[in-house]
């Protein structure tokens, strides 16, 4: 019996090759090629959340004068701005983003559930992000967002998407502070929302795939890199050069990335945009003539939508979208 067992093991034993991320393995085991290895390829599948009843916790009577905004320390929620929007307008702007993505050939899926007070859940960029072959589920830094991880994990599992890593122990990171620069290089920005343990755990997964993870630091209490840099074409990024480290700007040059620098006339929120395919970008209104000219020279096409009401909650177009599948761009 032992000899038959040993012979069977030899015939039907371990098969490490091809690797997990190989297309044949992805399709045969997981049903499709999952993930992203860039931030500009055609988006095929995108995770979002339509703001719902959870927004009703925001009480205009709960104004905190010393910060000029609204919140409740006991309940643990806060609103980012000094003005609470009309929620019908808020939802209408978010729905316009959904419909714009669909018109660009993107399949949009939604979180299965959110926390009862999950007013930041609309910003699906932060609770997970896609890498080659699957997703990394983050560990959100602020108590107002803790718990989103469980809901996104259930949603990804129901979609059939592999979860390559769930951040654990004392790691903290949020997807808005992660960006692909090319298929072999990514950047993460440390801040009040991203610590070294979070970077280390993400780097372990990426390094195993042959990807370099560059670490930079956000200035002051800024939290996410997608307010300072977003890739908009294979070799083009829109940036705020005054708040990115000089060494990192040089590194972008070294790896062949051209930059469009915002100017004083631009609404800073335009950086928080989304490339739906190479050189085709969804942006909030507020692009200056100077920046529009720079886009035209680089053959960047823009689709402008109103998003100012959603921005009042602390996030923009990029924050509100989590691409789960993108085409590779070579």
Give the C-alpha separation, 256 to 146, whole Å.
38
Strand (E) or helix (H) holding 276 = strand 274-277
DSSP 233-255: ETTEEEE-GGGS-HHHHHHHHHT
Give the number of C-alpha atoms closer than 13 A to the C-alpha of residue 65, restricted to the C-beta side.
Answer: 0
Cis peptide before 18 (omega within 30 of 0): yes
Question: What pLDDT was estimated at residue 1?
Answer: 53
The pTM assigned to this predicted structure is 0.95
d(CA 164, CA 136): 6
Give how far Cα 86 sits from Cα of 91, 115, 195, 216, 284, Å: 9, 22, 35, 37, 18
Sign of CA dihedral 209, 211, 215, 221: negative
Q: How far apart are CA 171 and CA 166, in angstroms?
A: 10
Q: Would you tell me how many other CB atoms lie within 10 Å of the CB of residue 301?
A: 14
DSSP designation for 209: T
Domains plus CATH for the chain? 28-326 (3.75.10.10)
Output the average pLDDT for the chain.
95
Residue 99: pLDDT band (50, 70, 90) is very high
Q: Are 168 and 218 in contact (CB under 8 A)?
A: no
Over residues 266-282, the mean pLDDT reads 98
Interval 183-212: pLDDT, tens: 999 999 999 999 999 999 999 999 999 999
């Amino acid at each position: 019996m032992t000899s038959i067992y040993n012979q069977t093991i030899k015939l039907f034993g371990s098969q490490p090759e091809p690797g997990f991320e190989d297309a044949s393995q992805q399709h045969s085991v997981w049903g499709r090629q999952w993930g992203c290895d860039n931030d500009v390829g055609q988006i095929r599948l995108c995770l979002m959340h339509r703001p719902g009843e959870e927004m009703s916790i925001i009480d205009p009577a709960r104004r905190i004068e010393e910060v000029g905004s609204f919140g409740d320390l006991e309940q643990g929620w806060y609103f980012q701005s000094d003005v609470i929007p009309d929620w019908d307008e808020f939802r209408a702007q978010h729905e316009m983003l959904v419909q714009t993505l669909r018109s660009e050939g993107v399949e949009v899926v939604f979180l299965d559930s959110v926390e009862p007070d999950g007013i930041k859940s609309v910003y699906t960029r932060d609770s997970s992000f896609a890498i080659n072959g699957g997703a990394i589920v983050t560990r959100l830094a602020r108590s107002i967002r803790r718990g989103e991880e469980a809901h996104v994990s259930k949603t990804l599992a129901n979609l059939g998407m592999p979860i390559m890593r769930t951040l654990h122990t004392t790691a903290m990171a949020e997807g808005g502070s992660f960006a692909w620069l090319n298929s072999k290089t990514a950047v993460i920005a440390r801040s009040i929302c991203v610590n070294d343990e979070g970077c280390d755990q993400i780097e372990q997964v990426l390094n195993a795939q042959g990807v370099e993870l560059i670490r930079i630091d956000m200035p002051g209490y800024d939290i996410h890199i997608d307010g300072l840099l977003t890739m908009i074409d294979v070799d083009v990024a829109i940036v705020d050069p005054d708040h990115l480290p000089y060494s990192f700007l040089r590194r972008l040059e070294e790896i062949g990335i051209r930059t469009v620098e915002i100017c004083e006339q631009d609404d800073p929120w335009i950086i928080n945009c989304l490339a739906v395919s190479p050189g085709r970008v969804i942006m909030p209104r507020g692009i200056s003539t100077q920046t529009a000219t720079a886009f035209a020279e680089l053959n960047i096409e823009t689709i402008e939508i109103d998003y100012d009401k959603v921005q009042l909650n602390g996030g923009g177009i990029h924050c509100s979208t989590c691409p789960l599948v993108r085409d590779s761009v070579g």
